Chains A and B, each alone.
Chain A
Amino acid sequence: EAQVTQNPRYLITVTGKKLTVTCSQNMNHEYMSWYRQDPGLGLRQIYYSMNVEVTDKGDVPEGYKVSRKEKRNFPLILESPSPNQTSLYFCASSIYGEPVTDEQFFGPGTRLTVL
């Protein structure tokens, strides 16, 4: 089954404790992206990757890191989480990243709470 998977689905952590949220897709997509969803703000893009070893900042990249060493994986790293990073996070992928022609497939989300 074609899908985007994220782990963990739920995470409660404390300020400053490094964490990684994994994202994997099995559709051989070139493009992958991370979003955060906050009430009243919709989805905002954190980072994206057009292909392996190519990543770039989205609209809200502060406090996050990503890497794209393989096509299928795009982990999101919070080196020193803070309470304002408490949010619902989504990973997404599409074949080439062109929203007009390429449908974006979203993972199920990771709900992160930073105390």
Chain B
Amino acid sequence: AQSVTQLGSHVSVSEGALVLLRCNYSSSVPPYLFWYVQYPNQGLQLLLKYTTGATLVKGINGFEAEFKKSETSFHLTKPSAHMSDAAEYFCAVSAFSGGYNKLIFGAGTRLAVHP
């Protein structure tokens, strides 16, 4: 069964520093992987996704993620954090269950950005 593990429930960085949010997946089939962002008091918003092809995926707001099959990872990065990046980030994998594909979410990582 597909599953997602996000390492670190809370990550704190300084403004301008590298952001690295870790996600490892478990899947018996080639995975489809997603990152969602949840800003305070808002619903989730798709940041980026990997389906097939290029393993480095670029998303909105300067974020990118790299699919590494050998490491079963899909870590999210951003070269320089901005205060507005403070949010909760969810990694997800698409899983086939009950006759259709659905999203399985990780527990989330809350990113804090301090001046």
Q: Closest CB-CB distance, B60 to chain A, in whole Å?
A: 12
Are A42 and B105 interface neighbours, CB within 8 A? yes
Q: Closest CB-CB distance, A35 to chain B, in whole Å?
A: 8
Measured CA separation A90–B36 after assembly (Å): 14
Q: Does A85 contact B (CB under 8 A)?
A: no
Given contacts A99-B32, A103-B46, A107-B43, contact A41 B101 (CB under 8 A): no
Contacts of B9 in A (CB 8 A): 40
Given contacts A40-B107, A99-B32, A99-B94, contact A106 B44 (CB under 8 A): yes
Chain B contacts to A: CB under 8 angstroms: 4, 9, 32, 34, 41-46, 49, 51, 90, 92, 94, 98, 100-103, 105-108
Contacts of B32 in A (CB 8 A): 99-100
Contacts of A22 in B (CB 8 A): none
Q: Closest CB-CB distance, A96 to chain B, in whole Å?
A: 9
Contacts of B92 in A (CB 8 A): 99
